[in-house]
């Protein structure tokens, strides 16, 4: 026991006593090597005495560890054993929470060798099983490092995906049926600096492994797991550092659905999910920060995707997780909407139907790649005397002819549809929908967006109008399908 503690002390000291320790000018002391999970090259090093009563000294170095042990308290004894996650049988009917390796983020085994060689010298007679090999085992390590595969990135990714799928299958076989498995996934800040990149390789490869292993993802909760000094941006716009995936076993009788059905289900599920995540006073949890939304929305989106055995593309091939993530994330972005609609959406978020200054509208329009005049020409905006306001659907032109409208943003399509539906009912709305068929899905998506937005902002009357349209969508769609085709009839050769 004593030898083990001494070995841990020496191991700790190796971090502070090596030729990669720099002198910290600002703090006036030697700095330990592993301030991050890498061994950087340095030009010179600082060497401190191990009995100097300063940083790098044995007792000083150990005191922080001792403090942790003193404060741990004595609870149920823990048990640690070393197993390969791909073949382990230790998690039978247990509640599982795991922190797996993250793609190519950290080469743990390589870094561990730094400590291992010293620990092995001291401890191999005491725990021979743990120190049987000359260096740490690498072959089973689930990490996507190209240099372990003769430089081939594809092979590294393949190795990670296959191994991780096996490891998660092993969990899924053994998990306690009554509890979900929680899996921590650390998120590389560099992968997400723009706040939107949720489809980086590490992340979607990992989700693909989870799904392939027979688990369905029910939640993705962003968590701030790094300590204060690391996450300098807490309270600012910094992203959460980890995502917790909450997973359950997929039903063995899960069906397959089409891409169209998948998008339809996303449209139905995501607005409520988004609402629940961003609402302030709901339950005990605090709302998800706006910067974390694109991560958090993956949970309910993947819940739809992963509850099915497969989502089939039009050509019959199964949809990839990457595509699913793009579709899910598109819900937050506005890529689907034309520039005029993006302008209207943002203006509406700020001003609703009230008027605002032309200058502000002009700036917003430029940012969205359109112009105030252009949006005005489309018939959804009033701009006069330095003031700008969005027209309410009731003010839209009743003699509107979609076929003759050469500037028809999704925003206009939706509000014309609301107007016609309100005044003339389902079959008249069906006629409009048939005329703007190419934009139908975007119109519906916008209706969902606006419904959520209005409900959250307490605009009950507007929310009701969008909600009515959404709930009557199926009959309106049927009415549209029953319309005679508006496409020009095929002419004969000599006509
Ligand atoms: C994100 S780290 C866990 C860190 C841990 N939660 C902590 O706070 O120290 C992932 C760990 O998985 C380990 N690992 C990699 N491949 C493995 C495998 N095939 N079986 C078991 N563990 C593995 C790595 O060595 C690494 O220690």
d(CA 157, CA 453): 40
d(CA 344, CA 351): 10
Nearest-CA residue for ligand 1 atom 4 is 99
Instruction: Report pLDDT for 112.
Output: 96
Cβ atoms of residues 250 and 214 within 8 Å: yes
pLDDT in tens, 380-434: 999 998 999 999 999 998 888 888 888 999 999 999 999 999 999 999 999 999 9
Question: What average pLDDT score do residues 297-311 get?
Answer: 89
Residue with the larger pLDDT of the pair 440 and 242: 440
pLDDT at 134 over 60: yes
Instruction: Report pLDDT for 494.
Output: 53
Q: Which atom of ligand 1 is nearest to the CA of 84?
A: 20
Nearest-CA residue for ligand 1 atom 6 is 99
Residue 246 Cα to ligand 1 middle (Å): 19
Q: What's the burial of 162, exposed, middle or buried (CB within 10 Å: 0-12/13-18/19+)?
A: middle
Instruction: Report pLDDT for 192.
Output: 38
Q: Which residues contact 359 (CB under 8 A, 6 or more apart)?
A: none
- The residue ranges of DSSP E strands in 128-269, in sequence order, are 181-186, 215-223, 242-249, 256-258
Instruction: Report pLDDT for 274.
Output: 75
pLDDT in tens, 311-333: 999 999 999 988 898 788 777 65
Q: Which two tokens stand for residue 36?
A: 């991050």
Give the residue, out of 88, 96, 99, 245, with the most ligand 1 atoms within 8 A of its beta carbon, to mutate for a pocket test. 99
Please tell me the pTM assigned to this model: 0.64
- Poorest-confidence range of 122-131, 224-233, 291-300? 224-233
Instruction: Report pLDDT for 6.
Output: 87
Instruction: Report pLDDT for 415.
Output: 96
Residue 119 Cα to ligand 1 middle (Å): 19
pLDDT in tens, 438-476: 888 889 888 888 887 887 788 888 988 998 898 888 899
pLDDT in tens, 188-238: 543 433 333 434 567 778 888 898 899 998 887 777 666 544 433 333 334
Q: What angle do CA 105, 108, 110 make, to 5 degrees?
A: 115
Three-state secondary structure call for residue 258: strand
How many angstroms separate the first and last alpha carbons of the chain? Answer: 99
d(CA 397, CA 419): 10
Strand order in the sheet with 387-390: 356-357, 387-390, 381-384
pLDDT in tens, 28-38: 999 999 988 88
Residues found in the chain: 495
Three-state secondary structure call for residue 335: coil
> Pocket around ligand 1: residues whose beta carbon is below 6 Å from it?
84-86, 99-101, 108, 140-142
Nearest-CA residue for ligand 1 atom 27 is 108
Nearest-CA residue for ligand 1 atom 8 is 99
Q: Give the closest residue to 271 by CA, choosing from 469, 454, 412.
A: 454
Instruction: Report pLDDT for 299.
Output: 83
Q: What percent of the chain has pLDDT over 70?
A: 86
Cβ atoms of residues 302 and 328 within 8 Å: yes
Q: Give the closest residue to 197 by CA, choosing from 305, 298, 51.
A: 298
Give the residue, out of 104, 137, 141, 186, with the most ligand 1 atoms within 8 A of its beta carbon, to mutate for a pocket test. 141
- In whole numbers, what is the pLDDT of the chain averaged over residues? 84
d(CA 391, CA 419): 12
């Amino acid at each position: 026991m004593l030898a083990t503690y001494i070995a841990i002390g020496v191991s700790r000291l190796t971090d502070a006593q090596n030729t990669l320790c720099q002198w910290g000018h600002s703090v006036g002391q030697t700095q330990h090597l592993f301030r991050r999970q890498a061994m950087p090259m340095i030009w010179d090093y600082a060497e401190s005495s191990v009995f100097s009563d300063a940083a790098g000294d044995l007792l000083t170095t150990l005191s922080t560890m001792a403090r942790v042990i003193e404060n741990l308290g004595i609870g149920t004894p823990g048990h640690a054993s070393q197993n390969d996650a791909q073949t382990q049988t230790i998690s039978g009917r247990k509640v599982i929470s795991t922190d797996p390796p993250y793609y190519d983020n950290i080469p743990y085994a390589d870094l561990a060798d730094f400590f291992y060689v010293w620990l092995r010298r001291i401890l191999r007679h005491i725990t021979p099983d743990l120190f049987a090999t000359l260096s740490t085992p690498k072959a089973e390590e689930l990490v996507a490092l190209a240099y372990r595969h003769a430089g081939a990135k594809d092979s590294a990714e393949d190795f990670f995906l296959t191994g991780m799928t096996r490891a998660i299958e092993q969990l899924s076989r053994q998990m306690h049926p009554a509890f979900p498995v929680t899996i921590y996934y650390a998120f590389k800040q560099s992968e997400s600096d723009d706040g939107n990149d949720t489809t980086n390789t590490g992340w979607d490869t990992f989700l693909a492994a989870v799904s392939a292993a027979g688990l369905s993802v029910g939640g993705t909760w962003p968590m701030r797991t790094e300590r204060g000094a690391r996450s300098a941006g807490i309270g600012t716009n910094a992203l959460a550092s980890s995502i917790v995936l909450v997973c359950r076993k997929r039903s063995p009788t899960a069906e397959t659905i089409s891409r169209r059905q998948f998008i339809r289900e996303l449209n139905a599920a995501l607005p409520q999910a988004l609402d629940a995540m961003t609402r302030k006073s709901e339950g005990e949890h605090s709302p998800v920060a706006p910067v974390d939304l694109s991560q958090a929305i993956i949970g309910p989106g993947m819940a739809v995707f992963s509850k099915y055995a497969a989502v089939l593309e039009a050509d019959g091939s199964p949809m990839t997780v990457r595509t699913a993530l793009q579709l899910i994330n598109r819900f937050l972005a506005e890529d689907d909407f034309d520039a005029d609609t993006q302008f209207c959406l943002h203006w509406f978020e700020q001003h609703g139907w009230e008027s605002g200054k032309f200058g502000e509208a002009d700036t917003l329009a430029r940012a969205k790649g359109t112009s105030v005049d252009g949006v005005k020409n489309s018939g959804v905006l009033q701009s006069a005397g330095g003031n700008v306001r969005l027209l309410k659907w009731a003010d839209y032109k009743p003699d509107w002819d979609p076929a003759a409208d050469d500037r028809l943003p999704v925003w206009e399509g939706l509000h014309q549809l609301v107007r016609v539906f309100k005044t003339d009912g389902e079959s008249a709305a069906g006629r409009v929908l048939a005329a703007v068929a190419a934009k139908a899905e975007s119109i519906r998506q916008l209706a969902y967006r606006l419904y959520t937005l209005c409900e959250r902002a307490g605009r009950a009357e507007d929310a009701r109008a969008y909600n009515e349209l959404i709930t009557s969508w199926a009959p309106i769609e049927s009415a549209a399908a029953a319309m005679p085709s508006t496409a020009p009839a095929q002419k004969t050769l000599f006509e």
